[in-house]
């Protein structure tokens, strides 16, 4: 009985080709690519709806202005007035992550479509983190030249400790893209696994009979709370990614 | 003990770190709330730092989760 209904929480993260062959050509249209396009289309619709530039904003325009104002105020408070140059990237990352996360939470399975969370792949979050890190490096070396290395030496470090502090700071600097990418991807994976496992409990409890339905009910109540938490986490992760990106850019622009 | 059961036990032990991170995250928000109630006027300006602390505390729990998954699905 237990063997036939084994829970497979990792199945939802599988990338499967929709057109083409994964072993054949290097460019395959996968379900990940499809959901990325859906995210892009949704962002496009969202932004176009709010760009009518009415003098008195309607609901939609107020929504879009709320998001853009939120990101631009976050960037300018963290980087300063020079930070306006970096708003496009931070805004892109924030919107893409937010929409991809929330789209992954939508119950499309009810309609028969298999939902796929784009940001649950380390490659996707990794590429975004690497681009953020590259911006930091390029901006840092462009503006400050080799003086950029003084970022690794805090003010007032004793001469004896200099090599050690430099190594530690360098290590913590180099680990940034990994932590940025890992945090987001693992948060998504963990939430989806949790939902999947307790969703399976509901189904299996009903099938089991006896005390099963009681356990189903408990799992169902629990899963409602977890879903609410997950939607919160989706927004927080998008916010944290954008916030940390702007903080790292601040390091490069202002050197402490 | 065969490899499969050792893997499951190891993953369970690694998952303890997630609970430790829960303490950390609770500490971050708890301390913030404690001081925000003392001085509500300064609370909003510190929200960015709140989420930086949250992200740092949460990251370690998520790493523990990743380690558990690596142990569980390792061959």
**Interface predicted TM-score of the whole assembly (ipTM), two decimals:** 0.79
Q: Are A105 and A232 in contact (CB under 8 A)?
A: no
Task: Report the domain count for chain B.
Answer: 1
Judged by a CB distance cut-off of 8 A, whether residue A73 touches chain B is: no
What pLDDT is stored for residue A45 in this prediction? 92
Closest CA of chain A from B37, distance in Å: 22
Q: What is the pLDDT of residue A29?
A: 83
Could you give the C-alpha distances from B21 to A35, A197, B18, in angstroms and in order?
32, 21, 5
Asked if A243 reaches chain B (Cβ–Cβ under 8 Å), the answer is yes
Residue pLDDT, tens place only, B14-55: 989 999 999 999 999 999 999 999 999 988 888 888 988 998
Give the residue-averaged pLDDT of A139-161. Answer: 86
Report CB contact under 8 Å: B63, A186.
Answer: yes
The one-character DSSP state at A22 is: T
From the centroid of its chain, how far is CA B67? Answer: 13
Query: How many angstroms separate the CA atoms of A83 and A86, rounded?
Result: 6
pLDDT for res A2:
41
Both structure tokens of A204:
């299996």
Chain A residues in contact with B58 (beta carbon < 8 A): 183, 187
Chain B residues near any Cβ of chain A (below 8 Å):
48, 51-52, 54-55, 58-59, 62-63, 65-66, 69, 73
Candidates B48, B58, B63; nearest CB to A243: B48
Find the mean pLDDT for residues A191-201: 87
Going by C-alpha positions, the residue among A118, A120, A109 that lies closest to residue A40 is A118
By residue range, what is the domain housing residue B42? 3-73
Structure tokens at A97: 């992550």
User: Is the Cβ pair B59, A77 closer than 8 Å?
Assistant: no
Distance CA A40, CA A23 (A): 27
Higher pLDDT, B71 or A11: B71
Interface contact flag, B63 A182, Cβ < 8 Å: yes
Each residue of A230-242: b (16+ CB within 10 Å) or e? beebbebbbbbbb
Collect all residues of chain B within an 8 Å Cβ-Cβ radius of residue A247.
52
- Of A148, A173, A168, nearest in space to A157 by CA: A168
> What CATH number did the domain enclosing B62 receive?
1.20.20.10
Q: What is the mean pLDDT of residues A144-164?
A: 85
A-to-B residue pairs, Cβ atoms closer than 8 angstroms? 35
A177 sits in which H/E element: helix A176-208
Whether residue B62 and residue A182 make contact (CB cut-off 8 A), yes or no, is yes
* Interface mutation vs chain B, best among A240, A249, A251, most B CBs within 10 Å: A240
Within 8 A by CB and 6+ apart from A21, the residues are A28
Q: Which residue of A lies nearest to B18 if distances are taken between CA atoms?
A: A190
The answer to whether the CB of A154 falls within 8 A of the CB of A165 is yes
Residue A246 and residue B43: Cα distance in Å, rounded? 21
pLDDT: which is higher, A43 or A15: A43
Beta bridge partners of A63: none
User: Tell me, what's the pLDDT at A20?
Assistant: 67
**In which residue are the tokens 């300063």 written?**
A80
* DSSP secondary structure code for residue A26 in this structure: S
User: Is B63–A243 a contact, with Cβ atoms under 8 angstroms apart?
Assistant: no
pLDDT digits (tens, 9 = 90+) for A156-172: 888 888 888 889 989 98
Q: Above 90 in pLDDT, residue A238? A: yes
- Would the CB atoms of A187 and B62 count as touching at under 8 Å? yes
Q: Do A182 and B66 touch (CB under 8 A)?
A: yes
- The burial class, CB within 10 Å (0-12 / 13-18 / 19+), for A191 is buried
> A236 vs B54: CB contact, 8 Å cut-off?
yes
Q: Which residues contact A101 (CB under 8 A, 6 or more apart)?
A: A117, A119, A188, A234, A235, A237, A238
Q: Is A19 helix (H, G, I), strand (E, B) or coil?
A: strand
- Whether residue B62 and residue A239 make contact (CB cut-off 8 A), yes or no, is no
CB-based contact A182 B48, cutoff 8 Å: no
pTM, 2 dp: 0.86
pLDDT at A3: 42
- Return the pLDDT at A5: 53
Chain B nearest-CA residue for A122: B66
């Amino acid at each position: 009985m237990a063997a036939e209904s084994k829970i497979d929480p990792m199945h939802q993260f599988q990338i499967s080709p929709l057109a083409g062959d994964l072993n054949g050509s290097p460019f395959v249209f996968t379900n990940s690519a499809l959901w990325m396009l859906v995210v892009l289309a949704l962002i496009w619709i969202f932004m176009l709806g709010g760009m009518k530039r009415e003098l008195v904003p309607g609901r939609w325009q107020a929504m879009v202005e709320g998001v853009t104002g939120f990101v631009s105020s976050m960037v300018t408070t963290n980087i300063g007035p020079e930070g306006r140059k970096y708003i496009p990237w931070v805004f892109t990352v924030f919107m893409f992550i937010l929409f991809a996360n929330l789209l992954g939470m939508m119950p499309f399975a009810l309609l028969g479509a298999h939902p796929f969370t784009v940001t649950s792949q380390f490659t996707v979050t990794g590429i975004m983190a690497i681009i953020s890190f590259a911006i930091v490096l390029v901006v840092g070396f462009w503006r400050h030249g080799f003086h950029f290395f003084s970022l690794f030496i805090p003010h007032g470090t004793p001469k004896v400790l200099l090599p050690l502090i430099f190594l530690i700071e360098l290590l913590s600097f180099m680990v940034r893209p990994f932590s940025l990418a890992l945090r987001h991807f693992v948060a998504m994976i963990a939430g989806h696994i949790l939902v999947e496992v307790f969703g399976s409990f509901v189904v299996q409890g009903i099938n089991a009979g006896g005390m099963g339905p009681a356990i189903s009910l408990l799992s169902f109540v629990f899963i409602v709370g977890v879903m609410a938490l997950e939607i919160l986490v989706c927004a927080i992760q998008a916010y944290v990614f954008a916030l940390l990106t702007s903080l790292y850019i601040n390091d490069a622009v202002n050197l402490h | 003990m065969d490899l499969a059961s050792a893997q499951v036990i190891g993953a369970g032990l690694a998952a303890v770190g997630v609970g430790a991170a829960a303490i950390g995250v609770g500490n971050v928000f708890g301390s913030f709330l404690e001081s925000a109630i003392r001085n509500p006027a300064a609370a909003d300006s510190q929200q960015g730092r709140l989420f930086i602390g949250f992200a740092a505390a949460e990251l370690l729990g998520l790493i523990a989760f990743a380690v558990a998954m690596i142990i569980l699905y390792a061959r």
